[in-house]
Amino acid sequence: MTDMGDRPTLSEAVRTYGLVKRFGGQVAVAGADLVVPKGSFAGLVGPNGAGKTTTLGMITGLLRPDAGVATVGGADVWRDPVLVKSRVGVLPEGLRLFERLSGRELLMYNGRLRGIPTGEVARRAEELLKVMDLAGSADKLVVDYSTGMRKKIGLAAALLHNPEVLFLDEPFEGVDPVSADTLIEVLRRYTASGSTIVFSSHVMELVERLCDWVSVMSRGQIVAQGPTAQVRGGLTLNEAFLRLVGARSGHGASEEGLSWLGSSPA
Ligand SMILES: Nc1ncnc2c1ncn2[C@@H]1O[C@H](COP(=O)(O)OP(=O)(O)OP(=O)(O)O)[C@@H](O)[C@H]1O
């Protein structure tokens, strides 16, 4: 554990102090200090391999940090795991769901795992299925759902216990524009009531449109974070992002290499 320095404040939904994670010799997260104020719709952005998924895993209790501290609502994720897990909802990358249950059964099962009384789970499940436009597919097995339907049922499962903080890893990947609109509407309603969302994405336009807070990750560290307008600094978020993380050596296809690509045969 590193020195905590200052303590999390009541207005912070998430705060990490010097989080580190190594996989063998590779450092995936190299001392990340993430801050997300309560009630934010926060975006976590960064290039491929920056350490976003690994960081979210350490905050949601899925991956044990090698060093550092992660807190949710002021509680230490790894010292107080049961409390923290009751406060968070997670839509993980790769969406590992119980494939052989129907959508409705999946929600009922998740609700019961969370200790919600059966009648209440059933009521919430029906409402969520309706809002997510899944009522007609509620009895279909999850294994037969499309990518977008899987995201929607995964989000419904993550919201069922009304968590204080919702973590979403690439929630819109593979989701069509109509379904994305539905997801966005549900998420906006959720943050409007004071709950917090942290979501990772590569789609800068979406982050700029949805998020009032943004944290930029590069090479395992948070290199900029704050209100979106402040991080953008008068540029588009994409331009600001490229300035922050784009200057990487050896990544310019135009400068060298690929000279054979697209050229007509000699
Ligand atoms: N289980 C693992 N074993 C070994 N290396 C891993 C493992 N998980 C992640 N890594 C490595 O850690 C680094 C950070 O990966 P991570 O998935 O956290 O990045 P990311 O920012 O989420 O990337 P992307 O945007 O591509 O999803 C990468 O170099 C990755 O190869």
Ligand 1, from 20, 22, 27, 53: best to mutate by most atoms within 8 Å of Cβ? 53
Count of domains for the chain: 1
Identity of the amino acid at 143 = V
Ligand 1 centre distance from Cα of residue 48 (Å): 8
Ligand 1, from 19, 54, 55, 222: best to mutate by most atoms within 8 Å of Cβ? 54
Phi and psi at 210, nearest 5°, equal: -95, -30
The predicted pLDDT at position 262 comes to 81
Ligand 1, from 29, 52, 207: best to mutate by most atoms within 8 Å of Cβ? 52
Return d(Cα 238, Cα 77) in angstroms, integer. Answer: 32
Residue 20: pLDDT over 90: yes
What pTM does this model have?
0.88
For 30-86, write each residue's pLDDT tens digit.
999 999 999 999 999 999 999 999 999 999 999 999 999 999 999 999 999 999 999
CATH of residue 69's domain is 3.40.50.300
Residues 6+ apart with CB under 8 A from 238: 204, 205, 208
Residue 11: pLDDT over 50: yes
Q: Please, are residues 151 and 102 in contact by the beta-carbon 8 Å criterion?
A: no
Residue 180: pLDDT over 90: no
Q: Does residue 103 lie in a domain region?
A: no
For 85-133, write each residue's pLDDT tens digit.
999 999 877 677 888 999 999 999 999 999 999 999 999 999 999 988 8
Q: Does residue 199 lie in a domain region?
A: yes
Alpha carbon distances (Å) from 250 to 47, 193, 219, 247: 14, 45, 15, 9
- Where in the sequence is the domain holding 35, given as residue range(s)? 12-95+165-245
Residues within a 6 A CB radius of ligand 1: 23, 26, 28, 46, 48-54
Q: Does residue 30 lie in a domain region?
A: yes
The predicted pLDDT at position 263 comes to 67
Q: Does residue 135 lie in a domain region?
A: no
